[in-house]
């Protein structure tokens, strides 16, 4: 077992000959020395955490490609900015009000300025739909494959306000909560 290369540290070495604590300090502040200090400048931290590829390749910020990454603008508790937005500002200048930074490559963690373009909210939504990333809501009523009710049963439930939720549920083979949902309009509100 090798120990951390810092003389006074007796922790197990994990990466770069450093323990987890000292490797984290080095990554965040550029030094392994303890104590409070100002974080490294924003641009330095940005490049330290960016895996830069070729001109046409994605440059990934942070670990993995899975989701949008943020970078803090200052010390602990300071605001954050999306890494791709910061990259656009760094390479192209300010972003006009009302515009978004969009990815041509559709890789959320990418910060390659050649892959970033400005667009309106409408263009951003259209881009999301065109790339198949729009989350759709399940179809209503019998169009939903999990539906246990029909339009006729819904109308029947609403025509019997004198019968309790549990009794009507037993009669129709449904839970009292399903009956209640229909009656208060939480479910099947599109049926009149």
For the beta carbon of residue 94, count every other beta carbon within 10 angstroms: 7
Higher pLDDT: 171 or 62? It is 171
What pLDDT is attached to residue 112? 94
Interstrand relation of 116-119 and 60-61 (parallel, antiparallel or unpaired): unpaired
Q: Residue 81: helix, strand or coil by DSSP? A: strand
- Domains and their CATH numbers in the chain: 1-37 (no CATH), 39-130 (3.90.75), 141-184 (no CATH)
CA distances from 107 to 57, 84, 100, 117, 145 (A): 11, 10, 15, 13, 33
What pLDDT is attached to residue 66? 63
| Average model confidence (pLDDT) across the chain | 86
User: Per-residue confidence at 139, pLDDT binned at 50, 70, 90?
Assistant: confident
Question: Does residue 133 surpass a pLDDT of 80?
Answer: no
The CA-CA-CA angle for residues 49, 104, 27, to 5°, reads 5
Q: What is the mean pLDDT of residues 51-66?
A: 81
Higher pLDDT: 104 or 66? It is 104
Q: What is the mean pLDDT of residues 103-124?
A: 91
User: Per-residue confidence at 152, pLDDT binned at 50, 70, 90?
Assistant: very high
């Amino acid at each position: 077992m090798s120990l951390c290369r810092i003389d006074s540290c007796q922790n197990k070495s994990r990466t770069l000959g450093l323990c987890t604590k000292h490797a984290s300090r080095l990554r965040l502040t550029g030094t392994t020395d303890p104590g409070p200090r100002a974080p490294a400048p924003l641009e330095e931290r940005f490049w330290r955490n960016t895996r830069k590829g070729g001109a046409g390749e994605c440059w990934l910020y942070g670990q993995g490609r899975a989701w949008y990454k943020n970078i803090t603008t200052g010390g602990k508790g300071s605001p954050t900015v999306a890494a791709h937005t910061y990259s656009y500002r760094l390479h192209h200048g300010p972003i006009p009000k009302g515009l978004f930074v969009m990815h041509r490559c559709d890789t959320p963690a990418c910060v390659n300025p050649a892959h970033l373009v400005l667009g309106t909210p409408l263009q951003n939504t259209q881009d999301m739909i065109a790339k198949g990333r729009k989350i759709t809501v399940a179809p209503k009523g019998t169009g939903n494959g999990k539906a246990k009710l029909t339009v006729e049963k819904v109308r029947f439930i609403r025509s019997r306000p004198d019968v309790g939720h549990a009794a009507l549920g037993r009669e129709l083979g449904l839970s009292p909560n399903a009956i209640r949902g229909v009656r208060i309009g939480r479910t099947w509100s599109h049926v009149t």
